[in-house]
A = this chain, B = another copy of it.
């Protein structure tokens, strides 16, 4: 049997959000590779090797997956959310392009998952109901100056903006800087959603005006959505009308 490599999205946390095609791929797998907490979601069974690895080793993990698939294994690389959004799919194609030519010819499939921003939006109402963008606030892979520039242009375009990886222990001050920039450019009354551990029993949602937003409202498990100028509250719901 020749090897294969599936890059699968597990969704934001709830098992009821894992698609049947991802579930089927996991049932066929000989090897599951991913960041420790995502691999921890996979039930062990005979004949399945689990390869949990630490954060920030995406390239090594991608090479390992490609190597195993090239040796004949049925490999599934698991990401949380959607694997194409600030996750493992791009890392695998980078590694495949830089590795032996045969790696690009492997049987590779990407299986989409429910991305954190859609689960957060759904829990809060429909804040992404109009044109929107998604920005990764981690500056591990890009300069913070580019992040500032993108925030400014997103506000100028009046996009709703979803922020992934807003805050980590390694860079606590940057989200404060990003938030100050938003307050400056979008004004004190603009609504912002802090969504934490979406779809899990620990889920917390909080909607505030920018003037009341504090950096501590976000942590490593948070997804933050800054509304457009039209985003509004109705009862307990946050939504962005379809009309401008």
**Chain A residues proximal to chain B, CB less than 8 Å:** 11, 14-21, 24, 58, 82-86, 89-94, 96-97, 104-105, 108, 110-115, 118-119, 121-123, 125-136, 141-143, 146, 149-150, 153-154, 156-159, 234-237, 239-244
CB-CB under 8 A for A90 and B241, given A21-B17, A153-B153: yes
Q: Is the CB of A19 within 8 A of B244?
A: no
Copies, count:
2
What's the dominant secondary structure at chain A's contact region?
mixed
CB-CB under 8 A for A150 and B131, given A16-B19, A20-B18: yes
A11 / chain B contacts, CB cutoff of 8 Å: 19
Give the shortest distance, in Å, between A41 (CB) and chain B (any CB): 15
Q: Is the CB of B21 within 8 A of A125?
A: no
A83 / chain B contacts, CB cutoff of 8 Å: 122, 126
Known: A110-B125, A153-B154. 12 other contacts (CB 8 A): A84-B126, A90-B240, A91-B242, A93-B125, A94-B239, A105-B235, A108-B237, A112-B121, A115-B118, A133-B154, A133-B157, A149-B157
Q: Is the CB of B118 within 8 A of A85?
A: yes
Give the shortest distance, in Å, between A154 (CB) and chain B (any CB): 7
B96, B112, B131: which contacts A114 (Cβ < 8 A)? B112
CB closest chain-B residue, reference A157: B153
CA distance A158 to B145 in the complex (A): 13
A96 / chain B contacts, CB cutoff of 8 Å: 234-235, 237
A112 / chain B contacts, CB cutoff of 8 Å: 17, 114, 118-119, 121-122
CB closest chain-B residue, reference A151: B157
Q: Is the CB of B89 within 8 A of A142?
A: no
CB closest chain-B residue, reference A125: B93
Q: Is the CB of A244 within 8 A of B146?
A: yes
A17 / chain B contacts, CB cutoff of 8 Å: 19-21, 112
A86 / chain B contacts, CB cutoff of 8 Å: 129, 242
A242 / chain B contacts, CB cutoff of 8 Å: 58, 86, 90-91, 94, 141
Give the shortest distance, in Å, between A68 (CB) and chain B (any CB): 19
